[in-house]
Amino acid sequence: MSDEPATCPATADRARSFGSVADAYDRGRPTYPAEAVAWLAGGEAKVVLELAAGTGKLTRGLVDQGHAVFATEPDEAMLAVLHERVPEVSAKVATAEAIPANDRSVDVVVVAQAFHWFDHEAALAEIARVLKPGGHVALVWNSRDERIPWVRRMGDILGRQDLDTSSSEHLVHSDLFGFMEEASFKHWQEVNRETILDMARSRSSFAVMGDEERERHLAEVLAFYDDYGRGMDGMQIPYVTRCYRAVVVDRDEPPAEDGGTESDGPVVSDGTDTDMLLIDFR
């Protein structure tokens, strides 16, 4: 998922629009630099839960760095692409406001390019619930580096929603998490005359356009590429990957009546039972 915050019915519709452009999203969106992936996860191999995982742009990087990754995504069409791209990952249709995992069951919860869509109060409570003591939540956005004039021109055409990381402030003001750390990493995305069209098609604003408006928009994107691209050699788009993370606040665990710990849901596998899902579902 990606782009504008769901603060009204119109943007809520956009939040549900990505399934219709799932393949374009997978082809047109940038990945995440390895250094950013490592910072988000925070070191040695962990059990990582990725919320709103989309088509697996970040998921692939987490798996490649040795983490045991479980993914959720509310859109079935997006999740279908993720299954194709990262078949070794256990993934399920679910939302951030109702996470299908047991209490204190994962080391890291990560959200790429999607936190702004969440109901933040409900989602942060769920994230805090599933994190182990000492675990952390990590947020990340890819933002085009608009200090460069031609990149600003691209923003005029495509929009600038992905430059807005202000929803991370919900993490700052939550009493469920401690101090929020920040880091940023630079990288490049190579696009050509076809994949820049996929980049345009992958945006929620495009998904809700009428047919004629879509054609005009794509023509404008191609005209931009013809002005600034290098034909078959393509175009390199500079990005700044903006990352945020915070450790869950320690809290007392309520005892069960028998003196044990309450557990009304499934537990996370430690990775040794490879025939099982990393996280079973309620």
Q: Which domains does the chain have, with CATH numbers?
A: 9-144+161-187+243-247 (3.40.50.150)
In order, the DSSP letters of 189-233 are: EEE-TTHHHHHHHTSHHHHTS-HHHHHHHHHHHHHHHHHHS-GGG
* Per-residue model confidence (pLDDT) at position 232: 67
Range of weakest confidence among 63-67, 155-159, 217-221: 155-159
* Per-residue model confidence (pLDDT) at position 4: 41
Sign of torsion over alpha carbons 217, 218, 222, 228: positive
How many other C-beta atoms are found inside a 10 Å radius of the C-beta of residue 168?
21
Sign of torsion over alpha carbons 108, 114, 116, 117: negative
Q: Which residue has the tokens 């782009």?
A: 3
Mean pLDDT of the chain: 84
Residue-wise pLDDT for 245-275, tens only, equals 999 998 765 534 443 333 333 334 444 333 3
At 143, list the tokens.
């933002």
Q: Model's pTM, two decimal places? A: 0.83
Give every CB contact of residue 133 below 8 A, 6+ residues apart in sequence.
104, 248, 250
* Per-residue model confidence (pLDDT) at position 117: 92
- What's the rounded Cα separation, in Å, for the pair 135 and 176? 12
Range of weakest confidence among 23-27, 30-34, 58-62, 94-98: 23-27
CB 205 within 8 A of CB 14: yes
CA 37 to the chain's CA centroid: 12
Q: pLDDT tier at 25 (50, 70, 90 boundaries)?
A: confident
Sign of torsion over alpha carbons 270, 275, 278, 281: negative
* Per-residue model confidence (pLDDT) at position 22: 85
